[in-house]
Amino acid sequence: MTDTTKRTRNANPMKILGSIIPGLPLILFRFGGEYLRFKSKANKGGYIFHNELLYQGLDASTAKNLTEVYLEGSNIIKNIFSLRSWNNSS
């Protein structure tokens, strides 16, 4: 290995963290806006799904339960934690 390769592999974690922290507010702002748009579209889709179930003749309680199951897929936090538990069990 060359000397420069050794230096780049032994990067200081504090230096890396120090370079990420200043950009963190911008990253959070961008992802926060995308998250809100995603949740808005998911809720709109759930509303349409619920109304279509009612229009097709399903009773209100079953339509509500099916809509909740439909909207569970848009819960990003729950999906991330389920992926982490799946990854840890392997």
Q: Report how far residue 60's alpha carbon sits from residue 50's, in angstroms, rounded to the nearest whole number.
A: 9
pTM for the structure as a whole: 0.62
pLDDT at 90 > cutoff 60: no
Burial class (CB in 10 A: 0-12, 13-18, 19+), 46: middle
Which sequence spans correspond to the domains of the chain? 3-89
Q: What is the pLDDT of residues 33-83, one digit of tens each?
A: 998 999 999 999 999 999 999 999 999 999 999 999 999 988 888 888 877
- Name the more confident of 24 and 66: 66
